[in-house]
Amino acid sequence: MGDPNLTYDKQAISVDCVVFGFDGKALRVLLTRRRRSLPSGEEVVDPKLPGSLISDNEDLLSAADRVVRDFVGVRSIYLKQMEVFSDPQRVQGNELSWINTHYGVELSRVLTVVFFALVKLDEKLLTHTKRRGGEWVELNDVRRLALDHNKILVSAIDHLMHLFHQEPIAFEFLPKKFTMRQLQNLYETVLDIEIDNRNFRKKMLALDYIVEVGEKENSVAHKPAQFYFFDKKKYDREYKKIFKLSSVYK
């Protein structure tokens, strides 16, 4: 072999993280900003997904964790690899100059491994994000992002919708104690559908890994609801292994 097209000295790998959160009404994604000067001398600020080149001795998950933790303060519970974007032309021209300036290297190409993270938004986390220059933007309000980050975001949203049908990830978004209403609102928002309240409740309560806490809401302008929590251990024991054989395959 010994392919003449291989030089390997200018490729680098980055991680970019799509971090989703739910504010009770809408899905939000974590964005940061990139400041750069155009050749014209003009300064532009492009919103982008948080990311970083990886260090020589770092695996991808650690790198992604480093990036996310920088903005949210805590280790995110749900953080997984999604997809690699590898178009040789995905970063070039001004984009590439920015990276070379910013990191002090001379690259001709950057592949990025996209990570997918879910976090529970709370006051502490929001404060931390703000301090670090991050922003939680409603999905509907996301405009043009740097590089190919719009494409990445679209892919991540699709991924999120699919995952919602396959794993109990909804609970990653909600506080430890949540009401059926909160859970339902989340499903309706993420999947963009309306759900019958009575059937939803019946279905969810039939799952023995959703457990009643024994506390109620208070000071709400309607009948106060029970709080529930997600018993992950129970779920892992009973469901993960079997991995739900659908009818035919029985």
Partner DNA sequence: TTACTTAGCGTAAATTTAACGCTATTGAAA
Partner DNA sequence: TTTCAATAGCGTTAAATTTACGCTAAGTAA
**Contact residues for DNA, defined by CB under 7 A:** 179-181, 184, 196-199, 201-203, 205, 216, 218-226, 246-248, 250
Q: Which is nearer to a copy of itself, 5 or 219 (CB)?
A: 5
The contact pattern for a copy of itself, residues 204-243, with x = CB under 8 A and - = no contact, is x--------------------------------------x
Q: Which of 149, 151, 169 is nearest to 160 (CA)?
A: 169
Q: Tokens representing 207?
A: 């799952």
What is d(CA 65, CA 75) in angstroms, rounded to the nearest whole number? 7
Cα angle vertex 34, ends 52, 13, to 5°?
Answer: 25
Partner interacting with residue 221 (select from a copy of itself, DNA, none; CB below 5-8 Å by kind):
DNA
Residue list 89-118, contact with a copy of itself (CB under 8 A): 102-105, 107-109, 111, 113
Q: Which is nearer to a copy of itself, 200 or 229 (CB)?
A: 200
Residue 244 as a binder of a copy of itself (CB under 8 A): the answer is yes
Partner interacting with residue 142 (select from DNA, a copy of itself, none; CB below 5-8 Å by kind):
none
Answer for which of 195, 205, 211, 225 binds a copy of itself (CB under 8 A) is: 195
Q: Which of 65, 38, 43, 35 is nearest to 52 (CA)?
A: 65
What is d(CA 113, CA 202) in angstroms, rounded to the nearest whole number? 40
Binding segment for a copy of itself (CB under 8 A), chosen from 41-49, 78-86, 141-149, 209-217, is: 78-86
Half-sphere exposure of 140 (CA within 13 A, CB side): 6
In eight-state DSSP terms, residue 106 is -
Beta bridge partners of 35: 45
